[in-house]
Chain A
Amino acid sequence: MKSRIKSIETKYMQQRRDFFNGLKNMDRRSFLKVSAAAMGAAATSGLLAPNSFCPVSVAQAAGSSDSNVSFRFAYISDSHLYEKKVNDRFVRGLLRAVEDINNLDPQPDFVFYGGDLAQLGQAKELDIGAQILKNVKAPLKMMVGEHDWYFDLGQKWQEMFGQPTYSWNHKGIHFVTLNSVVERDFWTKHGMTPMQRMMTVAGLDNGMQSSFTVGAQQRQWLKEDLAGYSNDAPIIVFSHSPLYKLYKKWNFWTDDAEDVQAILNRFERVVVIHGHTHQLLTNRIGNIHFHGMLSTAWPWPYAPEGMPELTIEMNRPDPFNPNDGCGDGEVHVHTDGLVDKIYNFWNRKPIMVARDYTASWGKQSIPLKPNLASY
Chain B
Amino acid sequence: MKKMSTFANFKIVLLFVACLSLVLMFASCRQENEMTTCDGQGKVEVAQDMTGQALADALMDQWTREHPDRDWMAEEKQRHELKPPADNSSLLQGGQAEGNTYGQPTERDLLIWTRETEKFVLEGSRIFHSADLLKSTVSVSCDMCHPHAANTHPETYPKFQTQLGRVILLRDMINWCIDNPVRGERLKPDDPRMRALEAYIMAQRSGTEMNYGKH
Measured CB to CB, the residues of A under 8 A from B are 82, 86-87, 89, 119, 200, 203-208, 249-250, 298-301, 304, 316, 318-320, 322, 372, 374-375
Point out the residue from A87, A205, A301 that lies within 8 Å of B151, measured CB to CB. A301
Can you name the residue of chain A whose Cβ is closest to the Cβ of B161?
A320
Measured CB to CB, the residues of B under 8 A from A are 78-81, 129, 138-140, 143-148, 150-151, 153, 156, 163, 176-177, 180-181, 215
A319 and B145 form a contact (CB under 8 A) = yes
Can you name the residue of chain B whose Cβ is closest to the Cβ of A208?
B79
B163 and A304 form a contact (CB under 8 A) = no
Can you name the residue of chain B whose Cβ is closest to the Cβ of A318?
B163
A375 to B211, CA, bound (A): 11
A208 to B80, CA, bound (A): 8
B80, B146, B147, B180 — which one has the most chain A CB atoms within 10 A of its CB? B147
B143 and A203 form a contact (CB under 8 A) = yes
| B176 contacts across to A, CB distance below 8 A | 319
Known: A86-B138, A319-B181, A322-B181. A205 touches B144 (CB 8 A): no
A299 to B148, CA, bound (A): 15
Between A and B, 22 residue pairs with Cβ closer than 8 Å are A86-B138, A87-B140, A89-B138, A203-B79, A203-B80, A203-B129, A203-B147, A204-B144, A205-B148, A206-B79, A208-B78, A208-B79, A250-B147, A250-B148, A298-B145, A299-B145, A301-B145, A301-B147, A319-B145, A319-B177, A320-B180, A322-B181
Distance from B205 Cβ to chain A, minimum over Cβ atoms (Å): 9
A207 and B81 form a contact (CB under 8 A) = yes
Distance from A298 Cβ to chain B, minimum over Cβ atoms (Å): 5
Known: A319-B181, A372-B215. A207 touches B78 (CB 8 A): yes
| B177 contacts across to A, CB distance below 8 A | 319
A82, A86, A320, A375 — which one has the most chain B CB atoms within 10 A of its CB? A375
A205 to B148, CA, bound (A): 6
| A299 contacts across to B, CB distance below 8 A | 145
A208 to B129, CA, bound (A): 14
A2 to B180, CA, bound (A): 52
Known: A87-B139, A375-B156. A207 touches B79 (CB 8 A): yes
